[in-house]
Amino acid sequence: MAIIRKAQGERRKAKKEHSLHLAPCASRLNGFTLLELIVVLFIVVLGFSVVGINLSSGNDATGLKVAARDIVSALRFARGQALISRQEMTVTLDLAENTYTVSGRDKMYSIPKAIDITVVTAQDEVTEGQGSIRFFADGSSTGGRITLELGKAAWQIDINWLTGQIELDDTDASE
C-alpha cells in the first residue's frame, strides 16, 4: 500500500467560478398579465349570464306546473280530510280572482293571474264566478276537471266522481 502525501507549499488550483449572465430580453417570466386575467374573467361572466337567461326562460311553464301541483295537493288534502273526519270537504276555485280555498281553512291560495283556469263540475257546485269540487265522507266526489293554461302549455286535473281519485296530466293547449 502506498501513501501519497501532498507536498508542502503546493497549492491546489481553485475552480473557476462560472457566472450566469442572462440577456436582458432573452427570457420572460412565466405567468399572466392583468389584462389577460380580466379578459378571461369577462368571458366567463358573459358565459354564465347566457346560461342564466336560458334557464329563466322556462319560468312560465314551471309556474304553471307548480300551480297545478298545488291544486292537486289541495284536492288530495280535502279528500283525505273528508275520509278522516267523515265530513264533506270542498275545494272552491274563484275564477275571477285566480284563487282557491279549502273548506275548514281560512287561507286563500293564489294562482298567478296569467294562468287561465277552467272548471267543469256538477251544476250544484257552480256559483257566480266560482266552481267547487266536493268530497264526501266515503271518498267519492262530485267529480270534474280543472284545466290550467298558459300560452300553449296546459295541465289538466281530473277528479273521478266515484272514487275521488285525482290525476294530473300535461296536455297541449293547441289540441
Q: What is the DSSP string of 2-50?
A: ----PPTT--PPPPPPPPP---TTT---SS--HHHHHHHHHHHHHHHHH
Residue 33 lies in a domain: no
Q: How would you class 164 by CB atoms within 10 Å of its CB: exposed for 0-12, middle for 13-18, buried for 19 or more?
A: buried
Strand ranges of the sheet holding 153-159, from the earlier edge strand across to the other edge: 116-121, 144-150, 153-159, 166-172
Q: Is residue 9 part of a domain?
A: no
DSSP class per residue in 43-104: HHHHHHHHHHHHHHTTHHHHHHHHHHHHHHHHHHHHHHHHHHHTS-EEEEEETTTTEEEETT
Question: 155: domain CATH number?
Answer: 3.55.40.10
Does residue 77 sit within a domain? yes
User: Going by C-beta distance under 8 Å and a sequence separation of 6 or more, which residues neighbour residue 82?
Assistant: 88, 89, 135, 136, 137, 139, 164
Please give the pLDDT value at position 63: 86
Residue 64 has a CB neighbour count (10 Å cut-off) of 23
Number of domains making up the chain = 1
- Tens of pLDDT, residue by residue over 94-109, are 999 999 999 988 899 9
Task: Flag whether 133 is in a domain.
Answer: yes
Integer-rounded Cα Rg, in Å, for the chain is 39
Regions of the chain short of the pLDDT cut 70: 1-29, 53-60, 172-175
The pLDDT assigned to 47 comes to 84
Total residue count of the chain as it appears in this document: 175
Give domain status of residue 42, yes or no.
no
* Residue 127 structural domain: 59-172
Whether residue 93 lies inside any domain: the answer is yes
Q: Is residue 22 part of a domain?
A: no
CB of 122 within 8 A of CB of 136? no
Q: Is residue 165 in a domain?
A: yes
User: Taking the model in full, what pTM does it have?
Assistant: 0.66
Q: Give the separation between CA 88 and CA 37, rounded to whole angstroms.
A: 67
* 47-82 confidence digits (pLDDT tens): 888 777 666 556 667 889 999 999 999 999 999 999
